[in-house]
Structure formats: C-alpha cells, structure tokens
Chains A and B, each alone.
Chain A
Amino acid sequence: MIRPPSSADTVVPGDGTSAPVIDAEGHFHATDAPIDFSHYLLEDWLALAFFWLLGLNVFYQFFTRYVLNDSAAWTEEIARYLLIATVFVGIAPAVRRTRHIHVDFVYRLIPARAGRAMSTLVDIGRVVFFAVATGLTVEMMTRMGNYKMTVIDLPVNIVYGVCALGFLAAAIRSVQTGVENWRRGFSLLERPEHAIEETV
C-alpha cells in the first residue's frame, strides 16, 4: 500500500532526529515511534475486538488442526463471520481518516474552484452511499427473518446486523468529515499533502 506517512509509521530514525542512524561502528539505531491511542474512537476499538477474536479463533483452529489433528467445523464459519465484521466495522475509521483507496490526480489538473465543487460532491455522495447501504442491509435483514447460520444454531442476521451497524457508523463519520471539510474549506482530495504535513 502506498500511503503517506502517518501515525502508521512504527519506526522512526534514531532517537529524536539529529543523532545519526548509523553509529561509528556501523550499527543501525532506529527507535520505535511514540504510541498515541487518543485518535482511536469507539468503532476502532470495536473493530479491534472483532479482529482479536478472529485471531484467537484462527490460532485455535491452527492448534486443533496441527496438534490435535482434528479441526472443529464451527471455527471456520466463525472465522469468516468475524472477518466480515472486522472489515465492515473497519470501514468507518478509514472514512474518518480519508484512508480509503481513491484516485486524486484529477485534482492536480483542474482549477481550484472546480476541485472544491467536485470534492463537495464526493463528500455528499459518500454520505448518500453509506446511508443507502445501511437501508438496504436493514431491508435484507427483514427478508432474512430467522435464517440460521450453516453450522452454528444462531440467526445469520447477527452478521448482517453488524454490517448494517458498520455502514451506519460510516454514514455518520462521512457526515462529520464532510462538515469538517466544508468548514476548513478543503478536503484531502484537493490537498493530499495536508495529511503528511499534519504528521511530519
């Protein structure tokens, strides 16, 4: 993934910035970047919970298959559902940070005012899409009724409910991002370098 540097970077040169990365004996000294959890919100932690459950589940499956030579059938189904939950809940934080994969080269070719208009349309379109997706998922859930999962005796609507929640969170975050872009007068589509300047 090519991304601008961000809080994502776990390693930074040297301790601080001035000390050389390589010392006189030819040994390398990178240090871990400070960790800051303050910009993670509710949906980040929810996605993290699903992801770690997924990890535990898959490790358990790995263990049963290689050590006990007998993998439980439910682990595979649960793993797939937890992956779905992680992804659909994880959409919202990426909306908030404008980290979804997008194409922004057009903005370098058109005048600033046209860019402003187009990025405003994008902000609106994003809200509309996630709102419609939430509605469609809820509609699908009402059609599904009491359908059960394949192996486990639980309603499949639990999974779809989490997806609906994820879409709803993404819709809300899209509104917030849109409002913020409107207030400050530009979005990251118009000024991609802004994301880097904030962190470098």
Chain B
Amino acid sequence: MTGALLISFLALMMTGIPVAIAMAGASLVYILLSGASPPMVVVHRMISGIDSFPLLAVPFFILAGNLMNNAGITNRIYNFALALVGWMKGGLGHVNIIGSVIFAGMSGTAIADAAGLGTIEIKAMRDHGYAKEFAVGVTAASATLGPIIPPSLPFVIYGMVANVSIGQLFLAGIVPGLVMTVLMMLTVAYFAHKNGWGADIKFVWSRLLKAILELGIVIGVPLAVWGAATLGANPVVATIGAVVLLFAADWKFKFEAVLPIMTPVLLIGGMTTGLFTPTEGAVAAVIWALFLGLVWYRTLTLRMLAKVSMETIETTATVLFIVAAASIFGWLLTATRVTDMVSAWVLSFTHSPWVFLLLVNLLLLFVGCFLEPTAAILIAVPVLMPVVTQLGIDPVHFGLVVVLNLMIGLLHPPMGMVLFVLARVANMSLERTTMAIVPWLVPLIGSLLLITYIPAISLWLPRLWYH
C-alpha cells in the first residue's frame, strides 16, 4: 500500500498528463482508497501549499529576467560580449558563452536561452560561416549556465524544499559557474585551433579597454560599497550613493552594459548582506529592470510589459501548480513513510557519501533527460534529503550537484528535452543535433565531476562570507 502512491504517480506521469495532476491525482486516489482523510484535504493542501511569503520570490525572479529579455538590452549585452571576447579566435563561440553567463545573471530561468536567445546566437554564428553543429553545440552547452549562476529559479525551489538558505545557494553557484565558463571557453579555443578559425571582429584596443573598464566597474562598485561599510559608513547610504554615481557615470560615458549587468550584483549583494530577503531582492531586481526599460533606456513599452507579464504568469502558474501538488503529495509520502523506506534502502548498501553522490549523478542525469528541472527537484529532493543528512553531505553542495545534473540531463543524448528543441530551432535532424552536442559533454561532465567531488568549489565562497 505504501509503495502504491509512488508507483501510481510515476505511472500517471509517464502517460503525459501534467506532472502536477499526476501528483495530486495519485494523492486523491490514495486518500479515496485508504479513507484516512476527507478528499477535500487534497485541494486544501494544494492551496495552502503556495500560501507562503517566500514563494513570492518566484514570480518576481521570473519577471526580472523576462524584463531584460528585450532587443534593447540584448543588443547591449551582446555588444559588450563582442567587445570583450569577439576578437579571440572562434570569437562568436566565446561571445555565445559570455552572453549566456550575463543572461544567467539576470534571469532565473535562462534556458529559454536554448530556444529564444538560441535562435539569435545560432543565426549570428551562421552569418559568420560557423558550422551549424558548432553553433548548436555551444548554444546548448552554455544554456546550462543559466540556473547555476545566480539568480536561479531551481535554487529557489531547492532552497525551499531542502530548507537551505537561498542566499548561500546563490553564492555557492558563482565559482562553479566560472569553472564551467572556463572549461567551455577552452573547448571553443580547442575547436578554433583545430579548425584554424580566425577572429570575428577586428581587434580594436579602445573597444576592448572600454569593455574591461565596464567589467571593472561592475566588480568595483560592490567592493567599494563593502569597503565603505566596513570603514563605518551607513550601508544603505553608501549603496544609494554608489547607485547615483553609477547613473551619473552612465549618462556621461554612455556605457554599453554596466547597468544591466549590475542587476545580479545588487540582488546578491543585497541578499547576502541581509539587506533583502530573497523576495525583496527579486522585487528590487524588477524595480531596477523596470527603471532601465521604461525610464533610462526607454526600450520597453507598455504593450511589451503586458506581454512579458503574460509570460511570467504562465511560467509562475505552471511551476507553482507543481509546488501546490507537491505539497499534498509530499505530505502523503512522509505520512506513509515512503521517504524512510527509500533512505533505509539506500543506506543498506552504501554508507559512503562518494558512492551515494555517484549514484545521484547517474539517477539525476537520467531523470533530467525527460523531466523539467523544477519538477524534478520537487519530486526527487524530498526523497533524497534524509540520506543526504545521514551521510553528512552539505545540503548547499548537494543543491549544486542536483541542479547541474538536471541541467546536463536536459541535453544529454539520446533523449534530453533540449535536443529536440534545438533540432527544431536549427532545422537539423536529431542525429545531427546529437552529434553536435556530444563534444560539449566533455566540459559539462568534467565540470560535474569537479563540482561533485570537490565540495570546496561550491562551498568556498558561502563559507568565506557567512563565517
């Protein structure tokens, strides 16, 4: 009887009914059959499952990212990336990766990247004579950065399920994101070297120096505020002062992308210093994006705002519908002791955290192929968490491992979901798309192994900050 709930859910999910309905439906059938509670408990639990203030972060993180996804800001970011790395050999490959890093920092869900921005990136690379395979491979691989580099919707959901600080998870994603960036750029460099590719734009010192200066400002401003605060200045006053100076400088020097790239800096800075809760941080990011779009750059119209809101509602409703269903389903799983059984079963054959993490890697790569990441987190993490605690694995580190696995699963042949999307977007056969992605599994799986087996990559920054 106890296993019936889990099995009926899995069976329902495989039919293709929405995952949320599979969860809530299996719970409803279980409650009807067992007669333990009145059936209306199902809807009551579902509604109260999203009656939570921290969950308000979800729509606003999504909205902030969507607000940045317009032509005005996109062009600025790619111009910045072109200036920074476009002159290298295999330039547009590097631009693609740096562009994804920046978009990852503004959006919580950036893998719309694979479809939305992906079409632009692939078109730009095709214009410059790159093979479709290379364009598709680098686009798919760099899209995995989205949820690793903060802010990140999967981290918000993981933090909620595993009861881990979202600020710590966000900080923990930074170094792994950089490790992945470096490994992917090395892969581009390898392809460029092997095929004898040249640069895509002319090397102009002034343009590169301006880009480096902009990067320096993005890194320097938070350091300056932090320095002023440690010297005894009021942090709020210092922040406001810095922001005013920033806009004055932007008005004078016409920076390409300093202000958009500042979004994650403000947000993570605010959250880790305790100035903002995650929800307030998300709201602050929305205010920032609205100000840039409606007032400063004037690239956003009210019609676009309405459309972006519709998009945000769709993503919010689909993700939180699963959160709602997971709250009744998870409650029943715990009540029927299924989670205890699973952890006892796992612990019966291994007590080594390393073996367990390896098994988790294999399991989640598989799950990630056909299940959307936030849904997979809501299903798998509550079941795995007791074992994680027993084995003494840091839940922040585990969060990184889970999310990265699920992201790689999305493009892992033979059936990752992104494969199918990209095959359509690029108008290639599935076989060709698979072959295009295979070389990129080397840096991705490499990053996964590094991040899984060297916990310090994830934990160094949050520990440095919080201790």
Query: Which residues on A are within 8 Å of B, measured CB to CB?
Result: 1-5, 8-14, 20-22, 26-32, 35, 37, 40, 44, 47-48, 51-52, 54-55, 58-59, 62, 65, 76, 79-81, 83-84, 86-91, 93-94, 97, 99-108, 118-119, 121-122, 125-126, 129, 132-133, 136-137, 139-140, 143, 159-160, 163, 167, 189, 192-193, 196-197, 200
CB B380 to nearest CB in A, in angstroms, measures: 14
Q: Which residues of A contact B165 (CB under 8 A)?
A: none
B124 touches A86 (CB 8 A): no
The DSSP consensus for interface residues of chain B is: helix
| Number of A-B residue pairs with CB-CB distance less than 8 Å in the complex they form | 267
What are 22 of the A-B contact pairs (CB < 8 Å)? A1-B372, A10-B116, A10-B307, A22-B127, A22-B128, A31-B71, A44-B310, A44-B313, A52-B309, A54-B56, A62-B280, A79-B56, A80-B52, A80-B53, A99-B318, A100-B318, A101-B375, A103-B14, A105-B370, A106-B15, A119-B16, A140-B40
The DSSP consensus for interface residues of chain A is: helix
Which chain B residues in 395-451 approach chain A with CB under 8 Å?
410, 415, 417-418, 420-421, 424-425
A2 touches B421 (CB 8 A): yes
Contacts A101-B318, A105-B369, A136-B42 given; does A13 touch B112 at CB 8 Å: no
Query: Closest B-chain residue to A50, C-beta based?
Result: B313
Partner of A87, one of B53, B303, B316: B316
Which chain B residues in 74-98 approach chain A with CB under 8 Å?
74-75, 78-79, 82-83, 86, 92
Query: Closest B-chain residue to A90, C-beta based?
Result: B317
B145 interface residue per 8 A CB criterion: no
Partner of B303, one of A35, A83, A108, A197: A35
The proximity string for B residues 29-69 relative to A, scoring 1 for CB distances below 8 Å and 0 otherwise, is 00000000001101110010011110110011001001001
Query: Closest B-chain residue to A82, C-beta based?
Result: B56
Q: Which of B12, B17, B420 is packed against the most chain A CB atoms within 10 Å? A: B17
Q: Which residues of B contact A4 (CB under 8 A)?
A: 115, 421, 424
B40 touches A143 (CB 8 A): yes
B114 interface residue per 8 A CB criterion: yes
CB B74 to nearest CB in A, in angstroms, measures: 5
B364 interface residue per 8 A CB criterion: no
B25 interface residue per 8 A CB criterion: yes
B128 touches A105 (CB 8 A): no
B363 interface residue per 8 A CB criterion: no
A106 touches B317 (CB 8 A): no
B283 touches A59 (CB 8 A): yes
A1 touches B111 (CB 8 A): yes
The proximity string for B residues 90-126 relative to A, scoring 1 for CB distances below 8 Å and 0 otherwise, is 0010000000000000000101101111011001100
- The CA of A2 and the CA of B374, in the complex, are separated in Å by 11
Partner of B317, one of A35, A86, A125: A86
The stretch from B177-185, B320-328, B345-353 touching chain A is: B320-328
A94 touches B317 (CB 8 A): yes
Partner of B287, one of A62, A94, A196: A62
A28 touches B75 (CB 8 A): yes
Q: Which residues of B contact A59 (CB under 8 A)?
A: 283, 287
A200 touches B424 (CB 8 A): yes
Q: Which residues of A contact B425 (CB under 8 A)?
A: 5, 196, 200
How many chain B residues have a CB neighbour from A under 8 Å?
Answer: 97
Contacts A26-B86, A32-B304, A139-B40 given; does A118 touch B15 at CB 8 Å: yes
B171 interface residue per 8 A CB criterion: no
In the complex, the 5 A-B pairs of residues with the closest C-beta atoms, listed nearest first: A90-B317, A26-B201, A100-B18, A28-B78, A21-B124
B28 interface residue per 8 A CB criterion: yes
- The CA of A121 and the CA of B86, in the complex, are separated in Å by 52
Query: Closest A-chain residue to B18, C-beta based?
Result: A100
Q: A10-B69, A136-B40 are in contact. List 8 more A-B contacts (CB 8 A).
A: A26-B201, A31-B71, A40-B310, A80-B56, A100-B19, A103-B371, A129-B25, A196-B425
- The CA of A76 and the CA of B53, in the complex, are separated in Å by 7
A196 touches B424 (CB 8 A): yes
CB B139 to nearest CB in A, in angstroms, measures: 13
B415 touches A108 (CB 8 A): yes
B284 interface residue per 8 A CB criterion: yes
Q: Which of B83, B123, B200, B286 is packed against the most chain A CB atoms within 10 Å? A: B123
CB B303 to nearest CB in A, in angstroms, measures: 5
The proximity string for B residues 299-337 relative to A, scoring 1 for CB distances below 8 Å and 0 otherwise, is 000011011111111111111111010000000000000
CB B242 to nearest CB in A, in angstroms, measures: 16
Q: Which residues of B contact A79 (CB under 8 A)?
A: 53, 56
A102 touches B18 (CB 8 A): yes
Query: Closest A-chain residue to B372, C-beta based?
Result: A101
Q: Which residues of A contact B21 (CB under 8 A)?
A: 100, 125-126, 129
B360 interface residue per 8 A CB criterion: no
A102 touches B16 (CB 8 A): yes
A125 touches B13 (CB 8 A): no
- The CA of A81 and the CA of B18, in the complex, are separated in Å by 24
Partner of A21, one of B42, B123, B314, B315: B123
B47 touches A129 (CB 8 A): no
B24 interface residue per 8 A CB criterion: yes
B304 touches A102 (CB 8 A): no
CB A72 to nearest CB in B, in angstroms, measures: 14
B252 interface residue per 8 A CB criterion: no
- The CA of A136 and the CA of B45, in the complex, are separated in Å by 12
Query: Closest A-chain residue to B111, C-beta based?
Result: A2
CB A101 to nearest CB in B, in angstroms, measures: 5
A106 touches B20 (CB 8 A): no
Partner of A192, one of B25, B310, B324, B420: B420
Partner of A5, one of B116, B287, B420: B116
- The CA of A89 and the CA of B318, in the complex, are separated in Å by 11
CB A174 to nearest CB in B, in angstroms, measures: 10
